[in-house]
């Protein structure tokens, strides 16, 4: 559950007071004051909570940077499913929602990635970062969870869009179907998302790299034989690794190693460093 800053500070002060009272109680039982415990006990507690606050702030900063970078469908497809879900949480936070993450596992029978709340109402959110349209079965599963838990509604995020049956099922319900272009449209409306020059320095989203990809014949999936697309795993906001993934994911989870190194040049990628992407 995301805590407001004032509540976090209140818990911190209450914890420090509790430790002081505990120190006084221990001194009374022992019969003599322990100055070392009295001095460092509250400080250690404050340091612990401040460390937690720093970790949470750093994670949100990384998510916001990813959201800043994801300004096109090409950049969205450079993300793994869990990265897409992380960006979605940040998008809704910046829209003023309170986000509750990881309440339940993402199970095949209809998991929920996170919840969003505003004005006393709660919506269940499920993210499907697929390379094919989301079918009506996933819309029905999410709506069933909404009914079971008494939520106000649901949000189904499908990067590749939805089938006509899924959109027909959502009509007249508080079930929002959000595809990739609509996600980017919401992102562009956020005042806190400023244009960045990431496209000039990041080889994964540069014009030169996009042009380079068009010269490569995508391999066939080793499992089903369908064409594959390039998928990138981010570590923080840097490239972790890249693989070819089946276009039919999640129905097919076939992968191949991306073994085509890309070395940017000054003509196609101003500001990039040669060798920034090895592809291995």
Ranges assigned E (strand) in 119-265: 121-128, 153-158, 175-179, 228-235, 238-246, 255-257
Q: How far is CA 269 from CA 205, 216, 261, 272, 279, in A?
A: 10, 18, 15, 6, 17
3-state class of 9 per DSSP? Answer: helix
Q: Domain 76-188 falls in which CATH fold?
A: Trna Endonuclease; Chain: A, domain 1 (3.40.1350)
Task: Using the predicted structure, report yes or no on whether residue 107 has a pLDDT greater than 80.
Answer: no
pLDDT digits (tens, 9 = 90+) for 26-68: 667 776 666 666 666 666 666 666 666 555 666 677 777 778 7
The radius of gyration computed from the CA coordinates of the chain, to the nearest angstrom, equals: 24
pLDDT digits (tens, 9 = 90+) for 82-104: 888 888 998 999 899 999 886 55
The CA distance from 128 to 81, in Å, is 7
Output the pLDDT for position 15: 66
Listed by start position, the domains of the chain span: 5-62, 76-188
Task: Using the predicted structure, report yes or no on whether residue 128 has a pLDDT greater than 90.
Answer: yes
């Amino acid at each position: 559950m995301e805590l407001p800053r004032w509540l976090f500070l209140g818990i911190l002060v209450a914890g420090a007071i509790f430790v002081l009272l505990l120190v006084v109680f221990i001194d009374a039982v022992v019969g003599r004051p322990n100055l070392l415990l009295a001095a460092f006990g509250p400080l250690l507690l404050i340091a612990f909570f401040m460390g937690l606050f720093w970790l949470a702030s750093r994670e949100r900063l990384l998510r916001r940077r990813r959201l800043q970078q994801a300004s096109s469908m090409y950049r969205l497809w450079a993300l793994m499913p869990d990265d897409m879900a992380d960006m979605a949480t940040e998008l809704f936070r910046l829209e003023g929602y309170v986000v509750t993450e990881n309440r339940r596992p993402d199970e095949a029978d209809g998991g929920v990635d996170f919840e969003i709340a505003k004005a006393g109402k709660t919506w269940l959110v499920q993210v499907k970062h697929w390379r094919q349209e989301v079918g009506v079965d996933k819309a029905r599963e999410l709506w069933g969870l909404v009914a079971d838990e008494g939520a106000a509604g649901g949000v189904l995020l499908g990067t590749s869009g939805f089938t006509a049956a899924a959109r027909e099922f959502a009509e007249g319900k508080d079930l929002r179907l959000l595809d990739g272009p609509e996600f980017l449209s919401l992102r562009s409306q956020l005042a806190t998302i400023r244009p960045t020059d990431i496209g000039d320095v990041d080889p994964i989203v540069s014009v030169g790299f996009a042009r380079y990809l068009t010269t490569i014949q995508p391999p066939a999936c080793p499992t089903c034989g369908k064409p594959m697309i390039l998928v990138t795993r981010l570590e923080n906001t840097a490239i972790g690794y890249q693989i070819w993934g089946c276009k039919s994911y999640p129905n097919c989870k076939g992968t191949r190693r991306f073994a085509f190194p890309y070395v940017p040049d000054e003509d196609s990628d101003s500001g990039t460093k040669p060798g920034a992407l090895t592809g291995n």
